[in-house]
Amino acid sequence: MTLNDDKTAVCSPDKVIDDYHKNYFCTLTTKSRDKEYGQFDINTKAELITGDISEINIEHWLFFNPVIALSIDGDIIFDSVRTGTDAYSSTLLVGNDADDSSGVPINLYISGTNLTDSSKIGENLNCPGGIKPSDISYFASNGARSTKYDPRADNEGYIPLTENMQMVILNSKLDPKADTLYPGAEMPITFRIRAPQNCIGGFDEGYVTFSANPIDNTNEIVTSSITPNVIIIPVCSSNIECNDNNDSTYDRCINPGKSDSYCLNNEVSCYNDNDCGFTGLIGDNFCSENNVFKLFQTSQCVNPGTITSYCQIINQSQLIQDCGNNSCDEFSPNYCNNGDSYHVQTCYNNGCSDGNCFSNQFYNEILVENCSDYCWNGSCKTFTCRNNSDCNDNNLYTEDKCINPSTSVSECTHEKITCLTNKDCGNDIFKGKQTCQNDSVFQNSLTYTCINPNTANSSCLNSTFLKLKQDCGKDYCNNYTLQCKGNNWCSNSDTNKDGKVNLNDLQIYWNNLGKKDCSLNNNWCKGADVNKDSKVDVKDLRLIMGKFGRRDCVKSTVYQQRRCFDKGCKSGSCFTKSFYEGNIVQDCDNGCKDGNCN
């Protein structure tokens, strides 16, 4: 096949349609970019089997040797970041800068290196080797899709950088083209840094690298790198930075300008937990109890806003990932192996190693059955029967026999048995009118009987006779229970015990007001000491006024009571009548509670 007059494609049969028609797959090889570059209109000439030449105008432009490139609009710039905090960069645009008409789509990849301090001035007490790639995360979007839906992302949608290239994935399960950048398209990307604790300096060496890989050509990769501008500053560099705008405190910066600097305010150490530092996950993942854990730092202000306030930092292990228990899938269908029946299941040995979950797979083959004769399609096959017991159909109502035992033509027979017990002939039932005899209910009963049970000549017989249907029971009484009755002279507010609280009781109170020698011997100052605290004062007046006007004052008593039941039979039915009986057990001078005098 000839394309344009100067290029020839190599073709080979691809699919036979019929005796006269075939499909061909043709491969066109271009020259290098310096010799062939740009758009070309392809015309095709093919020599037919008859020797005729057929010219076909495809009317399709092809772009030979397009230039693949990336464009980056913007820089990764962070404002000054205090150690132990998060900060977000300005948003930059990464675009597909391939030739406009090439139509070459790309996938975007991203990686990072350690960021170091070229001046070596800053302290790196807690970040040897600089800021790790995992301390920097990225958030990317393309229309309504973003990294928020990537399983690698945190709850903000940010994904940590790694030293190895990783593809930028934007919810590809919902929109397969969301990850793809076409020529001229751009993807906004924002970065977040988590400044390590006790780490300061100007980190100006290191790179964030973007890579582009044409989707239809895995051999050509283009990269572009950019150096983030990160300055991590200490908590404080001078006393003025520790000013809490409280004139009652002396504000100081301890270890000014150092990575472990902090502010000290003599009178009040902290007002809330935020004054005590970072609360959240710190450090690297580690294994414990076969799961992935990480330290969670809790910064807490104890006695906030007081002179005794202080910060308490607690590190506790927090579960990051449950690696799961060892488990096995369902067993496979049975199969034959070495003449016996087996089945197999896939099992998983789950655990944690070096701060990551693992799952090791293995197969567990189990013998299901040793076949006494042979195995076929996963099942053991045996003779139909070797003796009568082999013919047991678990039916008590048949006599089971093995005919031609232990042969290929063996068979089982099952002869019917009419009845084994009386119940096989029917359930006994009551019929007719109920009558009373000896305080119980009687009625005619239709009863069934099995003759010659458990034999082949068994049969059923029924008869009717008068039978006890219900014993109505005997009369009885429950145990006595003790109860309190009465209100003990309206809680002693009825001082003269006349059954009511009125002016006469107030007069008794006024006549004894101020006395402090009240006791049982003087009847609690003639009843004026209502609360029996040995003196007559305003507390007793409050108790009298609280019951003033009552006319139902009585003395408290202990009362015993029980419930009794009269049982019998009437008009062919049982009946039960209940009634209560009781009496006073004891009078209470000082009131009653829970069935006992005070």
Q: Please tell me the total number of residues recorded for the chain in this structure.
A: 598
Q: Is residue 200 part of a domain?
A: yes
Structural domain for 480, as ranges: 473-486+555-598
Claim to verify: residue 20 and residue 128 sit in the same structural domain: no
Spatial separation of the C-alpha atoms in residues 573 and 594, rounded to whole Å? 41
Q: How confident is the model at residue 58 (pLDDT cuts 50, 70, 90)?
A: low
pTM comes to 0.41
Nearest to 425 by CA among 443, 451, 445: 451
Task: Name residue 69's amino acid.
Answer: A
Q: Mean pLDDT over residues 394-415, rounded? A: 83
Yes or no: say if 277 and 313 are a contact pair by the CB < 8 Å rule: yes
Q: Mean pLDDT over residues 495-501, rounded? A: 85
Q: What is the pLDDT of residue 39?
A: 76
Q: How confident is the model over 233-267, as pLDDT tens digits? A: 888 888 888 887 876 677 888 888 787 788 887 77
Q: How confident is the model over 148-168, as pLDDT tens digits? A: 888 899 999 999 999 999 888
Q: Average model confidence (pLDDT) for the chain?
A: 84
Residue percentage of the chain with pLDDT more than 90: 25
Claim to verify: residue 353 and residue 462 sit in the same structural domain: no
Q: Count up the domains in the chain and report the number.
A: 6
Residue percentage of the chain with pLDDT more than 70: 88
Yes or no: say if 429 and 445 are a contact pair by the CB < 8 Å rule: yes
Claim to verify: residue 39 and residue 114 sit in the same structural domain: no
Residue 377 tokens, joined: 């399609």
Yes or no: say if 237 and 256 are a contact pair by the CB < 8 Å rule: yes
Q: Which of 187, 208, 233 is the last residue of a domain?
A: 233
Spatial separation of the C-alpha atoms in residues 43 and 54, rounded to whole Å? 11
Q: What is the pLDDT of residue 580?
A: 81
Q: Is residue 413 part of a domain?
A: no
Q: Is residue 96 part of a domain?
A: yes
Q: Mean pLDDT over residues 510-539, rounded? A: 88
Claim to verify: residue 85 and residue 144 sit in the same structural domain: yes
Q: Which of 213, 233, 253 is the last residue of a domain?
A: 233
Q: Domain with 500 in it: what CATH number?
A: 1.10.1330
Q: Is residue 562 part of a domain?
A: yes
Q: How confident is the model over 202-236, as pLDDT tens digits? A: 888 899 999 988 876 656 788 999 999 888 888 88
Q: Is the pLDDT of residue 317 over 70?
A: yes
Q: How confident is the model at residue 408 (pLDDT cuts 50, 70, 90)?
A: low
Number of Cβ atoms within 10 Å of the Cβ of 110: 20
Q: What is the pLDDT of residue 571?
A: 87
Spatial separation of the C-alpha atoms in residues 203 and 207, rounded to whole Å? 11
CA atoms within 13 A on the CB side of 554: 8
Spatial separation of the C-alpha atoms in residues 43 and 6, rounded to whole Å? 11
Claim to verify: residue 350 and residue 426 sit in the same structural domain: no
Q: How confident is the model at residue 299 (pLDDT cuts 50, 70, 90)?
A: very high
Q: Is the pLDDT of residue 122 over 80?
A: no
Q: What is the pLDDT of residue 120?
A: 65
Q: Would the CA dihedral through 503, 505, 508, 510 be positive or negative?
A: negative
Yes or no: say if 595 and 481 are a contact pair by the CB < 8 Å rule: yes
Q: Is the pLDDT of residue 191 over 90?
A: yes
Q: What is the pLDDT of residue 360?
A: 93
Q: What is the pLDDT of residue 316?
A: 92
Q: How confident is the model at residue 72 (pLDDT cuts 50, 70, 90)?
A: very high
Claim to verify: residue 339 and residue 427 sit in the same structural domain: no
According to the 3-state scheme, what is the secondary structure of 12-75? EEEEECCCCCEEEEEECCCCCCCCCCEEEEEEEEEECCCCCEEEEEEEEEEEECCCCCEEEECC
Q: Please give the C-alpha separations between residue 204 and each of 194, 232, 434, 528, 542, in angstroms, as whole numbers.
A: 16, 11, 106, 92, 82
CA 122 distance to own-chain centroid: 45
Q: Is residue 245 part of a domain?
A: no
Q: Domain with 88 in it: what CATH number?
A: 2.60.40
Spatial separation of the C-alpha atoms in residues 537 and 75, rounded to whole Å? 86
Q: Is residue 141 part of a domain?
A: yes
Claim to verify: residue 144 and residue 56 sit in the same structural domain: no
Q: Is residue 313 part of a domain?
A: no
Phi, psi of 172 (to 5 degrees): -65, -20
Q: Is the pLDDT of residue 526 over 90?
A: no
H or E element in which residue 504 lies:
helix 503-512
Claim to verify: residue 75 and residue 139 sit in the same structural domain: yes
Claim to verify: residue 440 and residue 584 sit in the same structural domain: no
Q: Please give the C-alpha separations between residue 373 and each of 180, 246, 336, in angstroms, as whole numbers.
A: 63, 95, 13
Q: What is the pLDDT of residue 50?
A: 65
Q: What is the pLDDT of residue 33?
A: 74
Q: Mean pLDDT over residues 387-402, rounded? A: 87
Task: Report which DSSP code applies to 533.
Answer: S
Q: What is the pLDDT of residue 20?
A: 59
Task: Round to the nearest angstrom and report the end-to-end CA distance of the chain.
Answer: 120
Claim to verify: residue 89 and residue 35 sit in the same structural domain: no
Claim to verify: residue 82 and residue 225 sit in the same structural domain: yes
Nearest to 221 by CA among 170, 152, 167: 167
Contacts of range 256-263, beta carbons closer than 8 Å, 24 or more positions apart: 258/123, 258/200, 258/234, 259/83, 259/122, 259/123, 259/124, 259/125, 259/126, 259/198, 259/199, 259/200, 259/234, 260/125, 260/198, 261/234, 261/235, 261/236, 261/237, 262/235, 262/236, 263/235, 263/236
Q: Is residue 572 part of a domain?
A: yes
Q: Is the pLDDT of residue 1 over 50?
A: no
Claim to verify: residue 82 and residue 223 sit in the same structural domain: yes
Q: Mean pLDDT over residues 489-510, rounded? A: 85
Q: What is the pLDDT of residue 349?
A: 93
Q: What is the pLDDT of residue 177?
A: 64
Q: How confident is the model over 25-48, as pLDDT tens digits? A: 677 777 777 777 777 776 666 666
Q: What is the pLDDT of residue 19?
A: 58
